[in-house]
Amino acid sequence: MERGKMTNWQDLTEEDAIEAAVAEHGKDPTASVAYCALGAYDGNSDGEEYRFWFGLFLKLAKGKRVGWA
């Protein structure tokens, strides 16, 4: 796995992505997803993986219910 990159992220539901992020980075869902977004950022905010994680982070940060988080 590349530093900071989550493998097979595109196959994850939002709930599964949150669970994977928490397993990788700790128990706070919002912070864990933010770390995944930072890891996916490669200087290009148009990258698919970055947009996926950042969009999920925004949902969590705005308090929208996503899965169990």
> pLDDT confidence of 1, banded at 50, 70, 90?
very low
Q: Which pLDDT belongs to residue 50?
A: 95
Angle at 50 between CA 45 and CA 52, to 5 degrees: 125
Q: Is the pLDDT of residue 3 over 80?
A: no
Q: What is the pLDDT of residues 5-55, one digit of tens each?
A: 677 889 999 999 999 999 999 999 999 999 999 999 988 788 999 999 999
Please give the residue that has the higher pLDDT: either 35 or 66.
35
Q: What is the pTM of this model?
A: 0.81
Q: Which pLDDT belongs to residue 41?
A: 92
For the beta carbon of residue 56, count every other beta carbon within 10 angstroms: 26
